[in-house]
Structure 1
Amino acid sequence: MIEFLTHDADLIRIAESVSSGTRLSNEDALILFERAPLALLGMLATAKREQINGKRAYYNRNIHIEPTNICLFRCKFCSYRRCSLDEPGAWYDSLEDIYNQAAVYQHKGITEVHIVGGVHPLHTLVDYIEIVKTVKRALPEVVVKAYTAVELNYIIRKAGLSLEEGLVLLKEAGMGAIPGGGAEIFDTEVRAQICGEKSSAEEWLATHRAAHKMGITTNATILYGHIETYRHRIDHLARLRALQDETGGFSAFIPLKYRSVNNSMSSLGEVSLPEDMRMLAISRLYLDNFDHIKAYWVMLGKDATELALAFGADDIDGTIDDTTKIYSMAGVADQKPSMTTSQMRSLIARMGYVPIERDTFYREIL
């Protein structure tokens, strides 16, 4: 079958490596990015995802809480950040606001609350802890997946504590997992150009390493499709794969597409749908120690997410219920992102997979 898709000897060798379970090198990944037909990538990535997850494809019932978009960092790709409450589109939610946002979902079956936001210059670690406690008071049964490594690194250092000390306090407050945001791109030069003010790649990795050693599950991301090259993407994946070899603490990897509306990098435009599928497929093939590759439907859109299930993705994220503004402010087609469980199950089934409702830790909910 492979010979019908390519006569490239390198691609045939790489395909055989994938089939035999041999780990791909960085040069193998570069060849796939530069030369592999999309059909071949889809075939290989599908075989790999089915080897790991069979015909299962996952979704969950979740909401997002974004306490504020006021942020001291000025990342060039960000359409979400505001500098103060005086700026149009800015918000700052009180603890009462946050409690009410969560309490709406009492007895509605959600299993996860995802909390991320701007790094507010006046927030302290106590504020972060109180937000988690407030959500847990409203929804004691849910898993609170809270705060990017950028938020955590900044606020814990500000408190004068070690990462471990700060994470212990947050875990005791009810933080059960950490999302993967803030990774952006690890290359030092590219990172300096697009988000030079925020924590470094090494600090992001150190935060996740510390969490893993404490038994806190985390996710990982990449922001792709801006000024980075394929080699930068591969370097990013390599660092994630190495940390996963070390700790085994990553639950899922989520490639996040750069969206170009309403930010200072808008002139770059956006990469194509085939490039999105290429990124997903190669992520699935290269990250052989990650169980799950997520196609975040809010970022990709529903139609592209359906297609992503044919390019290695085995998870499509959750119901959301119009509770996130991060991508809607960046111009994605669905400005009020929400899907019912029925819609998610139908999307998955149309691609020939078995829809599985999961919790944060990929345990099946029956």
Structure 2
Amino acid sequence: MSKIDAILDRALQGERLGLEEGIALWESNEIEKLGHVANQLMLAKHPKPITTFVVGRNINYTNVCDTYCRFCAFYRQPGSNEGYVLPDETIFQKIQETLDVGGTEILMQGGTNPNLPFSYYTNLLKEIKKRFPTIHMHSFSPAEVVKMMEVSGLPLEEVIRQLKEAGLDSIPGGGAEILDDRTRRKISRLKGSWREWMDVMQSAHRHDMTTTATMVIGFGETLEERVLHLLRVREAQDQTGGFLAFIVWTFQPDNTNMPREKLGAEDYLKAVAVSRIMLDNIPNFQSSWVTMGPEVGKQSLHFGCNDFGSTMMEENVVSAAGTTHKVNINLSLELIREAGKIPAQRNTHYQILRVFDSQEKSDRDFIMQN
């Protein structure tokens, strides 16, 4: 039995893999074998041939940011003529449009805008919940929460408490990039340590909010740093159990200050597989069709992913870097079926709202209801 076979066999037996084993998996060129084992581990958690998706919308409420990440093509520095903060009424209109098509989730994210007081966020959340009590606010990445601490002078636990009280339901995993400070200092000197990102997430978990965890590869990080990222997420999940999903994608270098060669489909699929094999305590893995395209997204459903992410009515950050794959509801259904799966709409908590088993009837009913 080869070294890789022995490692994969241990994973299938339920043994936890460590740093050296994770590096060995990433060094392996046997991508199909990694994918097969990752798929088996996914099926152990999700035995039904169902792939879920959420109908949601990204709302980028501001592009003003004083973190200046080298890899971001979206932000504008404070004082820029191209900087904006969306009017509240525009945000309300976007939420109403989301509800009108059967959407359930709003992923509201922006830059770390130093000109917005903490009351901006709490008042906005309260107004949203007053108008749209059923919408799930999956919003504000850890970097934004840290900026709220900075402008308010409040400790982390109090910021999280007030956000939840105002109407925040869960926190997205953006800004994790690579959870190792060597790479973080290289790509985003002002963004804060990996520990700071994790502190926000674990505080949210303590306040009974769920979050997601993410990883972006392709910054020039080492394989060891990638595996350390996974181990740090896994350890935190052991402590608080609040990560509902894991999402990995590749750095999109176009239009950024970090010109690099873009990683390909094989790099992405290997990352998905290794992550599923290492992260034995996170139930859901989202496919990253936004960055990788629909066809690779479809492949990822056989490499450890059980979820197709959001239909995303709107997305501005990744598309600013030249990646503009858009998937609507009907195309999501089609791609999931082409992958040999049954599509199902879920909410943010991964509760299934509707299964599209009979194609003609279910699709017709969905369109008529929305």
Q: Distance in 2 between matches of 1:123 and 1:91?
A: 12
* 1:349 is aligned to 2:337: yes
Matched letter for residue 282 of structure 2 = F
1:13 to 1, 6, 23: 6
Map residues 1-366 of structure 1 onto 2, 5 A cutoff: 9-54=2-47, 55-84=49-78, 86-88=80-82, 90-266=83-259, 268-321=260-313, 323-334=314-325, 337-340=326-329, 342-366=330-354
Return the letter of the residue paired with 1:209: Q
In the alignment, the residues of structure 2 paired with residue 76 and residue 291 of structure 1 have an alpha-carbon distance, to the nearest angstrom, of 32
Aligned residue pairs, count: 353
Q: Distance in 1 between matches of 2:132 and 2:102?
A: 10
SS at match of 1:104: helix
The CA RMSD over aligned residues, in Å, is 1.4
Q: Give distance in 2, aligned partners of 1:85 and 1:296.
A: 33
Deviations 1:236-262 (CA, angstroms, capped at 9, x unpaired): 111000000111100001112100111
C-alpha distance after superposition, 1:32-82 (max 9, x if no partner): 110240110111111011111122211011011111111011101111111
Q: Unaligned regions of 5+ residues in structure 1, if any?
A: 1-6
* TM-score when normalising by structure 1: 0.93
- The 8 Å contact of residues 49 and 314 in structure 1, kept in 2 or not, is answered as yes
- Structure 1's consecutive aligned runs of 4 or more residues displaced over 6 angstroms after TM superposition are none
C-alpha contact 1:320 1:338 (8 A) present in aligned 2 = yes
| Cα 1:314/1:85, change in 2 over 3 Å | farther
Matches of 1:318 and 1:204, distance apart in 2: 23
Whether the 8 Å contact between 2:60 and 2:108 is mirrored in structure 1 is yes
Question: 1:4 corresponds to which residue?
Answer: none
Q: CA deviation at 1:105?
A: 3.0
1:16 counterpart SS class? helix
CA distance in 2, matches of 1:250, 1:44: 22
User: Which amino acid is the alignment partner of residue 253 of structure 1?
Assistant: F
Q: Are residues 219 and 99 of structure 1, via their aligned partners in 2, closer, same or farther at CA, if it must alter by over 3 Å?
A: same
Residue 156 (structure 1) shift: 2.0
Deviation of residue 85 (structure 1)? 6.0
How far apart, in 2, do the equivalents of 1:331 and 1:49 lie?
Answer: 32
Change (3 A) 1:138 1:338: farther
Query: Any conservation in 1 of the 2:114–2:151 contact (CA below 8 Å)?
Result: no
TM-score, normalization by structure 2: 0.92
2:98 and 2:104 in contact (8 A); partners too: no
Gaps of 5+ in 2: 355-370
The CA deviation at 1:110 is: 0.8
Shift of 1:353: 1.7
Corresponding residue of 2:360: none
Q: Which amino acid aligns with 1:227?
A: G
Cα offset, 1:199, TM superposition: 2.2
| SS of aligned partner of 2:169 | strand
- For residues 71 and 93 of structure 2, the distance between their equivalents in structure 1, rounded to whole angstroms, comes to 31
> Displacement, 1:86?
3.8
- Give the CA deviation at 1:333: 4.2
Matched letter for residue 360 of structure 1: T
Q: Tell me by how many angstroms 1:106 deviates.
A: 3.8
Q: Residue 114 of structure 1: CA displacement?
A: 0.6
1:304 positional shift: 1.0
Q: What residue identity is the alignment partner of 1:245?
A: D
SS in 2 for 1:205: helix
Partner-residue secondary structure (3-state), 1:185: coil
